[in-house]
């Protein structure tokens, strides 16, 4: 995957905090740019794509951060 424009470190946060951080920082990237949420919380695997559907943002997919932590990629649409 490509390098995200912004990466949020949510490794130590539990549900719903990774999603709250995603929502809070979406405006920190321009439309077309990618924001990544790095989170160990297993709920993020379901929550991030669901949030994207509800907020009409593009869920790009999942890869791993440099340390092997799960990373969820979101492209800002609007």
**Residue 71 counted as domain residue:** yes
Indicate the number of domains in the chain: 1
Q: CA 3 to CA 40: how far, in whole Å?
A: 19
**Residue 1 counted as domain residue:** no
Which one of the listed residues 6, 15, 26, 65 is annotated catalytic? 15
CATH number, domain containing residue 16:
3.30.110.40
**Residue 66 counted as domain residue:** yes
Q: What is the pLDDT of residue 78?
A: 87
Can you give the pLDDT of all 78 residues of the chain as single tens digits? Answer: 568 999 999 999 999 999 999 999 999 999 999 999 999 999 999 999 999 999 999 999 999 999 999 999 999 998
Output the CA–CA distances (angstroms, integers) from residue 29 to 8, 26, 46, in the order listed: 12, 6, 22
The domain containing residue 71 runs over which residues? 6-75
**DSSP reduced 3-state for 62:** strand
What pTM was estimated for this model as a whole? 0.94
15 is catalytic: yes
Tokens of 76: 């800002």
Q: CA 32 to CA 18: how far, in whole Å?
A: 21
């Amino acid at each position: 995957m490509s390098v995200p424009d912004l990466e949020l470190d949510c490794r130590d946060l539990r549900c719903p905090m990774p999603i709250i951080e995603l929502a809070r920082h979406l405006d920190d990237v321009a439309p077309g740019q990618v924001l990544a949420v790095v989170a160990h919380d297993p709920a993020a695997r379901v929550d991030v794509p669901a949030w994207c559907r509800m907020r009409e943002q593009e869920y790009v997919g999942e890869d791993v951060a440099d340390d092997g932590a799960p990373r969820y990629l979101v492209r800002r649409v609007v």
